[in-house]
């Protein structure tokens, strides 16, 4: 019998992408005349322009090698909870990025989460920036993401919003988990 599918976003769900982004920003832009240190705790805008105003193209930072050097798990117990979940569920990472970003994400996943074998890597150039293209229906499927629009556009049976409340997800009225300890309590 097959395990139920547990679809999981990568950026700001498994990983602390905002922290990695701000570290790269602070390193690259530190000598610019209008530079101010980016503080990930002051984030209010999804595009990070409020804390990293000097960036012209955010994708340049998400593609940068330093981004993946700085990338770490979002919570101290993320790895452990995912490992436990992998025994009960088929874990599938679903993430959006550029071709460069996605190739580096797959290498990061292979190194940091070797027990997860299934990835869906989406390059949505010119398309909607959501995950509706992925069929997540059936067999008690679960989808965990930090972006409300990704959850709303999904056909998954059970959708959980992950992380703190922000402007881009405040309208979510479904299940909500602030951290991986709450995910562990829900599903293990």
Do 83 and 118 belong to one domain? Answer: yes
Do 77 and 101 belong to one domain? Answer: yes
**How many domains are contained in the chain?**
2
What's this model's pTM, rounded to 2 decimal places?
0.95
Which pLDDT value is given to residue 128?
66
Helix (H) or strand (E) holding 91: strand 90-96
- How far is the C-alpha of 69 from the C-alpha of 52, rounded, in Å? 19
Express each pLDDT in 140-181 by its tens digit: 999 999 999 999 999 999 999 999 999 889 899 999 999 999
Do 144 and 97 belong to one domain? Answer: yes
Residues forming a β-bridge with 143:
7, 159
In terms of residue numbers, what domain contains 133? 5-15+73-187
Domain termination site, one of 32, 52, 70: 70
SS3 of residue 21 by DSSP = helix
The answer to whether 1 and 89 have CB atoms below 8 angstroms apart is no
The answer to whether 119 and 140 have CB atoms below 8 angstroms apart is no
User: Which CATH number do you get for residue 169?
Assistant: 3.40.50.1000
**157: closest CA among 79, 82, 89?**
89
Which pLDDT value is given to residue 127?
62
Which pLDDT value is given to residue 179?
98
Do 36 and 88 belong to one domain? Answer: no
Residues near 152 by Cβ (< 8 Å), separated by ≥ 6? Answer: none
Do 78 and 90 belong to one domain? Answer: yes
Do 98 and 144 belong to one domain? Answer: yes
Residue 56 CA to its chain's centroid (Å) = 22
Task: With a cut of 50, list the residues of the chain below it in pLDDT.
Answer: none
Do 117 and 29 belong to one domain? Answer: no
Report the length, in residues, of the chain.
188
Do 81 and 63 belong to one domain? Answer: no
Do 61 and 101 belong to one domain? Answer: no
Which pLDDT value is given to residue 126?
62
Which pLDDT value is given to residue 139?
86
């Amino acid at each position: 019998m097959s395990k139920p599918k547990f679809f999981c976003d990568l950026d700001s769900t498994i990983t602390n992408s905002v922290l990695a982004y701000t570290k790269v920003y602070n390193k690259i832009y530190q000598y610019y005349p209008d530079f101010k240190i980016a503080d990930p705790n002051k984030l209010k805008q999804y595009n990070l322009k409020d804390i990293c105003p000097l960036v012209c193209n955010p994708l340049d930072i998400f593609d940068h090698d330093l981004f993946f050097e700085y990338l770490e798990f979002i919570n101290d117990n993320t790895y452990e909870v995912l490992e436990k979940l992998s025994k009960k569920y088929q874990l599938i990472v679903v993430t959006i990025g550029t071709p460069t970003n996605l190739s580096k994400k797959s290498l990061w996943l292979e190194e940091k989460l070797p027990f997860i074998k299934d990835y869906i890597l989406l390059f949505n150039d010119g398309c909607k920036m959501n995950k509706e293209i992925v069929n997540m229906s059936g067999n008690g499927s679960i989808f965990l993401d930090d972006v409300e629009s990704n959850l709303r556009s999904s056909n998954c049976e059970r959708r959980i919003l992950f992380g703190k409340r922000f402007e881009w997800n405040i309208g979510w009225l479904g299940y909500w988990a602030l951290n991986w300890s709450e995910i562990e309590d829900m599903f293990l």
